[in-house]
Amino acid sequence: MLRYLTAGESHGEAIIGILEGAPAQLPLAPDDINEHLARRWLGYGRGGRSKIENDKVHIYSGVRFEETLGSPIAVRIDNGAYEKDKAGWPEKMAIEGDPPEDMETVTMPRPGHADLAGKQKYEHDDMRPVIDRSSARETAMRVACCSIARRLLNEFGIEVGSHVVRIGDVGFDEPEEWVDRRNALIEEGGGASAIYEAADESATRMLDDEMTERCVEHIDQTKKERDSLGGAYEVVVTGVPPGLGSYVHWDRRLDGQLVQAICSIQAQKAAEVGDGFYNARRPGSQVHDPIEPREDGQRAYPRRTNHAGGTEGGTSTGMPLVVRGYMKPIPTLIKPLDSVDTATGEPQPTRYERSDITSVPAASTVAEATVAYTVANEFLRKYGGDSVPEIRRHVEADRTAHAETARDEDATEE
Ligand code: EPS
């Protein structure tokens, strides 16, 4: 099984990560990670920080000659803001010495941000440490660590993709409005990577040109109003074998883990597996996916529809996994919001801050990464081994056994 740790402050020198448990002999080059780090900066509506970051991963251990060793993989991403911001971060975030004499402390919490909760929890007078660690800057390292898990999935034909379905008030209302387009992309491209490749072409990572345009206008208008926007996106995983996750214990349910994968990301406030929210409004006959016979050698029983999002009983069915994330509007607004100065206890509006208007497109790429990590872990629980060749032997043995079972079923029918 995999596990990873991240460390680092948003305006400190760098962010650091360690991934433990990656099997040996997985082909891995820095660009396998850099590709996804660059995608995390896609999307109309980002602010000034996007112009100064150029995320590139430095790998320090666990890889030799572009192949994993089975040992922990240590990685670092430098923060461009540290030097380029001209805000004096090297002094303000110094590891040694005292704070600069003229340094202002942050005492005005932004409603909706971690500022006040973190100040109270850790008893900081200055909220800077809270701002810096709760920042979504940390998602750069999550993408880096999880992209290694994703690389492992790719080795076994499992692909992950995402696209945005809503930004603020503008978007699709029902999955029926986009599933055909999404499924056609999977069909044409042979897997979910085709979804992310198509979405990356859109300024808002959407699969529809007209909707992209409407969202861009919505973002422009919101910027004029000095406000911010949330939204929704969908992550799809194809090539998933049946039998990942389980119903036998609460923390092994794949659907529950997928929701956690989304809601563990900063500002993501809800998630649904398959048509979760929509299914709650429909009768069972329109929700449950009819089961169809397997063809010769087929591992999974095909379903006519996929409202369940590829899981039943917390276990993968072999249909694509579908999980959607819902992001709240960014709490750093250019427009002031009512708050309290914690130094004086007096009411005070929040101050102007550099801000993104929306980062839903970025969140969708981070969600691809965290979902990949979750699926990779369940994949390793079922087929795990110390090296990629060993895992491949386990996968092949399973495929052969099930192909034989499917052939037996065919013979019985005849
Ligand atoms: C963030 C606030 C902004 C974002 C940042 C996340 O940074 P700053 O306060 O320096 O303008 O740009 O996102 C990133 C740096 C990133 O890499 O995605 C926040 O408060 O979460």
Secondary structure of the chain in HEC code, one letter for each residue: CCEEEEECCCCCCEEEEEEECCCECCECCHHHHHHHHHHCCCCCCCCHHHHCCCCCEEECCCEECCEECCCCEEEEEECHHHHHCCCCHHHHCCCCCCCCCCCCCCCCCCCCCCHHHHHHHHCCCCCHHHHHHHCHHHHHHHHHHHHHHHHHHHHCCCEEEEEEEEECCEECCCHHHCHHHHHHHHHHHCCCHHHHHHHCCCCCCCCCHHHHHHHHHHHHHHHHCCCCCCEEEEEEEECCCCCCECCCCHHHCHHHHHHHHHHCCCCEEEEEECCHHHHCCCCHHHCCCCECCCCCCCCCCCECCCCCCCEECCEECCCCEEEEEEECCCCCCCCCCEEEECCCCEEEECCCCCCCCCCHHHHHHHHHHHHHHHHHHHHHHHHCCCEHHHHHHHHHHHHHHHHHHHHHHHHHHC
> Which residue among 49, 54, 333, 359 has the greatest number of ligand 1 atoms within 8 angstroms of its CB, and so is best to mutate?
49
Q: Whose CA is nearest to atom 17 of ligand 1?
A: 137
Handedness of CA 351, 353, 356, 357 (dihedral sign): positive
CA-based Rg of the chain, rounded to a whole angstrom?
23
What residue ranges define each of the domains in the chain, with the CATH number in brackets? 3-388 (3.60.150.10)
Ligand 1 atom with least separation from CA of 81? 10
Q: How far is the CA of 189 from the centre of ligand 1 (A)?
A: 34
Query: What is each CA distance from 57 to 145, 178, 260, in whole angstroms?
Result: 10, 34, 26
Separation of CA 62 and ligand 1 centre (Å): 29
Atom of ligand 1 nearest to the CA of 140: 17
Q: Compute CA distances 94 → 9, 11, 128, whole Å.
A: 11, 10, 13
Query: Taking the CB of residue 48, how many other CB atoms lie within 10 A of it?
Result: 11
Looking at the chain, how many residues does it have?
A: 414
Mutate to test the pocket of ligand 1, among 6, 77, 137 (most ligand atoms within 8 A of CB): 137
Nearest to 36 by CA among 185, 134, 145: 145
- Mutate which of 6, 10, 36, 357 for ligand 1 pocket (most atoms within 8 A of beta carbon): 10
**pLDDT in 10s for each residue of the chain, 414 residues:** 999 999 999 999 999 999 999 999 999 999 999 999 999 999 999 988 889 999 999 999 999 999 999 999 999 999 999 999 989 999 999 999 999 999 999 999 999 999 999 999 999 999 999 999 999 999 999 999 999 999 999 999 999 999 999 999 999 999 999 999 999 999 999 999 999 999 999 999 999 999 999 999 999 999 999 999 999 999 999 999 999 999 999 999 999 999 999 999 999 999 999 999 999 999 999 999 999 999 877 889 999 999 999 999 999 999 999 999 999 999 999 899 999 999 999 999 998 778 899 999 999 999 999 999 999 999 999 999 999 999 999 999 998 888 776 666 666 655
Give residue 32 CA to ligand 1 midpoint distance, Å. 23
Q: Looking at ligand 1, which residue's alpha carbon is closest to its atom 14? A: 137
Helix axis angle for 30-39 and 139-155, nearest 10°, is 120
229 neighbors 222 (Cβ within 8 angstroms): yes
Burial 185-214 (b: 16+ CB within 10 A, else e): bbeebebbbbbbebbbebbbbbbbeebbeb
Q: What is the reported pLDDT for 13?
A: 98
Q: Which of 134, 135, 355 to mutate to test the pocket of ligand 1 (most atoms within 8 A of CB)?
A: 135
User: Phi/psi zone of residue 168: left (φ > 0), alpha (ψ -120 to 50 degrees), beta?
Assistant: left
pLDDT of 400 reads 86
Q: Which residues pair with 20 in a beta bridge?
A: 3
- In this prediction, residue 410 carries a pLDDT of 62
User: Of 160, 361, 367, 167, which is closest to residue 260 (Cα–Cα)?
Assistant: 367
Q: Whose CA is nearest to atom 10 of ligand 1?
A: 49
Closest-CA residue, ligand 1 atom 2, reads 135
Query: Where does ligand 1 bind, in terms of residues with CB under 6 Å?
Result: 10, 47, 49, 53, 81, 135-137, 140, 266, 332, 354, 356
Q: Which of 401, 90, 138 is nearest to 266 (CA)?
A: 138
Environment class of residue 379 by beta-carbon count within 10 Å: exposed (0-12), middle (13-18) or buried (19+)?
Answer: buried
Nearest to 72 by CA among 26, 6, 148, 20: 20
